[in-house]
Amino acid sequence: MTTHRLRSTPIPGTRDSYTGVDFNLGFHISHYDLDLDYRVIPNRLSAVATIAVENYTPLTGMTLDLVDSMRVAKVNCAELNIARFKQSGNKLRLTFAKEVPADTEFTLVIRYAGSPKPLKSTWGEIGWEETSSGSLVASQPCGAPSWFPCDDTPDEKATYDFHVTVDNPFTAVCNGELRGTSRSGSRTTFHWHAGHPVATYLATVMIGEYTQVTLSDGPIPVIGYVPANVKASFENAFRDQVEMLELYVQLFGEYPFSSYTVVVTADDLEIPLEAAGLSIFGANHAREARWERLIAHELSHQWFGNSMGLAQWNDIWLNEGFACYAEWLWFEHSTGRPAASSAAEHYKILADKPQDLLLADPGPKDMFDDRVYKRGALMVHALRTLLGDDAFFGMVHHYVEFGRHSVVEPHDLRGEVLRVCADAHAVDQLWTSWLDSRELPPFPG
């Protein structure tokens, strides 16, 4: 029998209060097989999505998230009779000819096409975006429907196969392992397989004229896909990437994916972006060796956010707080500057900012506010100060393993803290002051 969601707490209503998107209830998707034929110059995507579904309640119909501009031509299902389908409000709505009993496994085959473009949102444009030499996908938090039909909510994870056909000399880079390439005339198909569960916002397709660079061919391969004109500067700017990975394995536990990939776009990007098993940087980040902090931050998301996912967006501090603290841990290792010194520096900056943000529920407008990131990191530092190094890093190892390729919520972290700390009152005070109060608490320790 299928567990309908990975989260442990009840679904708060029928709409995501952060993205404003209605939940697709009643089923779970275990696998997406995406056959994507992309023409770069006209920006035209023709695709077939084969989706493995199991419903946990009886269904007379179901919805998937897909922008209306990606027009669906046909929906087939070998196991069920689909009476009709329609698109409206960025939803694909299916109606079954008769009620589908609970715990039925079926496969939807959806053929669709269009000119993909990013979705406009509270946080700017997200999803599939054209670049000067290809395209990129950066979907956090709800941009995945810009390019494939899906259940676009963070606690619904699935495995993926991507078959991406592009014109030569373009390369397609996706999540997971490259299983093979096949060339036919002037076009090449790249097959990538993501065997670990991935949230839809962390699925990506990066298309560009890339040169492959091997930073490490060790047990955890570290690969770069970069424009040829930044190859030399990339190798310099990312020279510490392998050492960062080795440090994080020591501090956090086993690396959760089979490899780590860095993709550099031909265009400059304001900020880098994480995806499952890979990170996306702009050419500006590869030209200059001054982005060490961001390189460390994105790598740490492979543990915090990409393996251990979120149940709901109000818990974004779990991702960003640990990732920011990982920056401070890297500098503690590489320069000898204690994380406590970094924490004190950012505490002073936070103290001069408005004290009107609730870390436990910052709201959609402020979910990516720097105060969420830095206060979240200070919360992590407060835990380290309370527990001491041995207990803290032991707790982190156990927490990371507990949430591996699943989702976590604050009470999961709290449970891990209480497992190693006998002073429940101190934990309660820390939790309330950093998460559930707007006023900035005293600096830890």
325 is annotated as an active-site residue: no
Whether 311 and 155 have beta carbons less than 8 Å apart is answered as yes
Whether 382 and 434 have beta carbons less than 8 Å apart is answered as yes
Whether 177 and 185 have beta carbons less than 8 Å apart is answered as no
Whether 297 and 323 have beta carbons less than 8 Å apart is answered as yes
Q: Is 297 one of the annotated binding-site residues?
A: yes
Q: Active-site residue among 18, 32, 112, 373? A: 373
Instruction: Give residue 127's region: left, alpha or beta (phi > 0; psi -120 to 50).
Output: left
Between CA 211 and CA 242 the distance in angstroms is: 19
Going 209 to 212 to 215 to 217, the CA torsion angle's sign is positive
> Given the DSSP bridges, would you call strands 406-408 and 308-310 parallel, antiparallel or unpaired?
parallel
Between CA 348 and CA 69 the distance in angstroms is: 47
Between CA 113 and CA 37 the distance in angstroms is: 9
HSE, side-chain direction, 13 A CA sphere, residue 420: 20
Between CA 234 and CA 358 the distance in angstroms is: 38
| 117: Cβ contacts below 8 Å, ≥ 6 apart | 43, 69, 127, 128, 129, 130, 146
255 is annotated as an active-site residue: no
Token pair, residue 199, equals: 């949230």
Q: Active-site residue among 129, 274, 292, 298? A: 298
Q: Is 301 one of the annotated binding-site residues?
A: yes
Annotated binding site for Zn(2+): 297, 301, 320
Q: Enumerate the active-site residues.
A: 298, 373
Annotated binding site: 297, 301, 320
